[in-house]
A and B are shown apart, each in its own frame.
Chain A
Amino acid sequence: MKSFMRLGAVTAVAALAAAAGTLPANAQAAQAADKGLSAAQSLVTARINGRLETLNALALAVNNAAHLTSSDRSTLSALIKGDISGLTTLRGKVAAETTVAAVRTDGTAMVDDYRVYLLVAPKVHLANAFDVESAAQSALQKVHDDVAAKLSAAGGGTSDEKSLLADLESQIQAAQQLSSGHVPTLLAIQPGPNADAIRSALAPLVTDARTARKDLVQARSDAKKLRADLGLGKHGKKQGSGSQGSDAPSTQGS
């Protein structure tokens, strides 16, 4: 009986000791979990803030872009405004989460549902690029028409000038073919979890915009050469050489 009581006392002490040991451990785990949650919230919040800053910068870029069509400007502004609203709401949701797992899910939504860096920024800049290309095409076409009229008035121009003029026109047309009709395709690309699919959708548009740029640079070079030639002609060559300076007689009969 004595030994039984002793055993009971030992067991009780052991249990008390065990209880005393586990309480701090649980508290530590709870503290660690709180810390983990807080760190996860801070991280995702910072990433959302980064996106919001980018979106605000993009909104400014859209407002200031001189050549964006009103339709493209309106579409892009609406997209940016919607994303700012959605991400602001998501930031509030993150702050209210009670588990790290929920914050992680919010972090995934922050990327996949918006694709601010991968898609929205390229949308703004590429749409602007296509609209600038369109404006440059119009300006170069006007230059082409002016130069063509001058050459015609000067007897048709030399074969070099005719060749440059033809190249100017063909470069403008090539640029037009490459850059027209792409903005609706661009603006229709949707965000989602598949980053590679978004990159693949953007890639051909970027390629066409770059190739169109090369065509426009060549067209500008042609136009400047023609302009320089006309400038020289103004001081003698062209005016005094309706027949003499033209190495290929005009077939335009002007």
Chain B
Amino acid sequence: MPNCVRTLSRCCLLLLPLWSFAAAAADYGAQIRYADLSRSDTGLHINAAIDYPLSPTAKEALLKGVPLEWRVIIEIRQRRLLWNSVVSRQQLPYKLQFHALLNQYAVETGREHTEMFLTLNAALGYMSQLHGIDLVLPLLEADADYQLAVKTQFRREALPVPLRPFTYFDPQWYLSSAWFLWSIPK
């Protein structure tokens, strides 16, 4: 019995750094405050509000000219007994970059459109609002359950090469959000 206790305590000691790492990572991860669907004549649209609380290291990197990239992933999943299958997947890329010359922040979206902002908050505010994003709907089965999943994923592999390996071990670079899930009404 004492051996079991000792083994358990050692496991806890090993898990403690992981737990603290995960907790620290969660502080800087993006958060989806809300997300919903709206219907119009043209179809379904997604509205969402996403917070990007940048870590100090990420802010410093941004100010030093390192572009930060995210992509908002929107998935429609069909709920099954054992696992959910992804029916459709959309990605909305965002690239945030600081222009030292103009002292402005540029937000580049996937639609080859760049917006310039005088402050970081304005740029992050622009990124946080998703209004009327058209949802590409495949042919859905009438009697099946579907789930909408939204996540903001920070792209470490878009960072400069020397920085990448270390971002996997630094909680300040865990800037992705968790999945935000809700059911699609039939």
A binds B: no
Enumerate chain B interface residues (CB-CB to A < 8 A). none
